[in-house]
Structure 1
Amino acid sequence: MTDPDDPSPSASTAPADVPSALLPLTRWGPVIAVLAVIVAGSITTSVPTVPGADWIPIDVSDVRHLAAYATLAVAVSWATRSTIRSHVRLLVAAFALVVAVGVMIELLQSTLPHRTASVRDVGVNALGATIGLGGYTVLVGLRSRLSASS
């Protein structure tokens, strides 16, 4: 039996058939995958555009930033959920980590001749993280309601 107050990773937070040696991968694998996509998209010379999207009132690049950083925020929250017990602390830590990644990506882009850094992008990334953390909070609430009703 596991201690519910023990913040260490345990088999109770992963499927029973996952060996304990793979638990870090099951938690952090999605974070690494999302980070890889963000970095790859951030250092490429050209990012594909959506044909005929001129009527959209928001820049398509902003939509990509929002989606990428919202997804990263959810992945980071999911990965740290058994380590950080307080939901508020988890949200603050995930937000800080995701925004720090966004800042580092912009700094990286400032060193590339074919890319430019943008404070605006950092803001859009932070908004994406906020949206993702809001979604994560809703999902956690739904999950706990479903568990309580069964």
Structure 2
Amino acid sequence: MSLPLWLDELITIVLVVGLIYMVTLLVRRAWLSVLGGLFDCALRADGATKWRPGLARYSGQYLEWYLVWHPWPRPTRLFVRDRCELVGFRDSDVSESKLGYAFARVVTLRARGQNPERWELAVNEGSATGLVSWLESAPPGRIGYRRGLDS
């Protein structure tokens, strides 16, 4: 018993579209890796329960966050270094470690000008250190950099 012709064509179309989608995701990840500074990073708004798996990379004064399953090459969320401050970081709990990644740290940021303002990023130990260093290494001359010295 063979499949009807229309069902055979439908299965072929679904398989081809799925293959194109997967190849697009692989090419996007390779392209982002070539640009440098790419690391796995799950993101959620502070107080939310669901983590969104993604990729993050440093691009000058920006931390670009890309949703893993989105084929678009532009970042889903953009954090500006001058508008972000470190609220704190902690070890991930048992429920967070079941995300499928080897996340060890959850970094909490306050991003002025974004809604919501507080974000949690789940990253591995090395990426957490890099993120904190990136936030603290803002160049001199940024707004508010010398505020404590002038008063």
> TM-score w.r.t. structure 2 length?
0.27
* Structure whose residues are more often helix by fraction: 1
Structure exhibiting the larger radius of gyration computed from Cα positions: 2
> TM-score w.r.t. structure 1 length?
0.27
Which structure carries more relative contact order (alpha carbon 8 Å, separation 6+)? 1
* Structure whose residues are more often strand by fraction: 2
